[in-house]
């Protein structure tokens, strides 16, 4: 029986997906196409995650000036809600530009005016669960005081707008932010 190149390729692809799917199902869930938004950065002053794609660089709780992304990598926030390997309920604050968790009764403390974060113009974001892996940086945590996303991998735990002390990640899960090249 003669097999066409097209049928051989289809068979090869089907077998490859079957092998990968049965060997490492957790990787398949994370590898599926996830819509992402580029333009997210780490602020070296407060350790927080903020969106840098707007003219305003937000308000940093460390000094009430703009966030400082001068030493930041480039991150892409995952768009969407709860799904395997990720936690929905994350939003962008239009006042401080920070990423915060909106799934609790408190919407946290915004450093721009010490009021609550404003998610009225935000899309839905989902934080990736886990640690360092190819294409993502672990060490991100949720602050139980301000509800913000911050990097906990440095000696300083940053500055929390709720009390100007360090962020509190003691009740947080482990999160990993996807990295981008551009």
The CA distance from 14 to 56, in Å, is: 48
Report which secondary-structure segment, H or E, holds 138: strand 136-142
Query: Strand, coil or helix: what is 159?
Result: coil
pLDDT tens readout for residues 110-166: 999 999 999 999 999 999 999 999 999 999 999 999 999 999 999 999 999 999 999
pLDDT tens readout for residues 11-55: 333 333 333 333 334 433 444 568 999 999 999 999 999 999 999
Span 75-79, average pLDDT? 98
Torsion of CA 157, 131, 180, 36, to 10 degrees: -100
DSSP string, 14-27: HHHHHHHHHH-HHH
């Amino acid at each position: 029986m003669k097999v066409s190149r097209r049928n051989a390729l289809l068979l090869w692809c089907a077998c490859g997906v079957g092998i990968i799917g049965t060997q490492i199902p957790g990787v398949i869930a994370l590898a599926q196409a996830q819509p992402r938004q580029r333009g997210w950065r780490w602020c070296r002053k407060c350790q927080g995650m903020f969106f840098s794609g707007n003219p305003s660089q937000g308000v940093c709780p460390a000094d009430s000036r703009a966030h400082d992304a001068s030493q930041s990598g480039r991150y892409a926030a995952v768009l969407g809600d709860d799904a395997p390997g990720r936690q929905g309920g994350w939003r962008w604050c239009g006042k401080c530009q920070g990423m915060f968790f909106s799934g609790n009764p408190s919407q946290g403390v915004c450093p721009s005016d010490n009021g609550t974060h404003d998610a009225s113009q935000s899309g839905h974001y989902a934080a990736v669960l886990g640690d360092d892996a190819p294409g993502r940086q672990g060490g991100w945590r949720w602050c139980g005081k301000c509800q913000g996303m911050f990097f906990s991998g440095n000696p300083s735990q940053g500055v929390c707008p709720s009390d100007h002390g360090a962020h509190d990640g003691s009740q947080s899960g482990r999160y990993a932010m996807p990295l981008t090249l551009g």
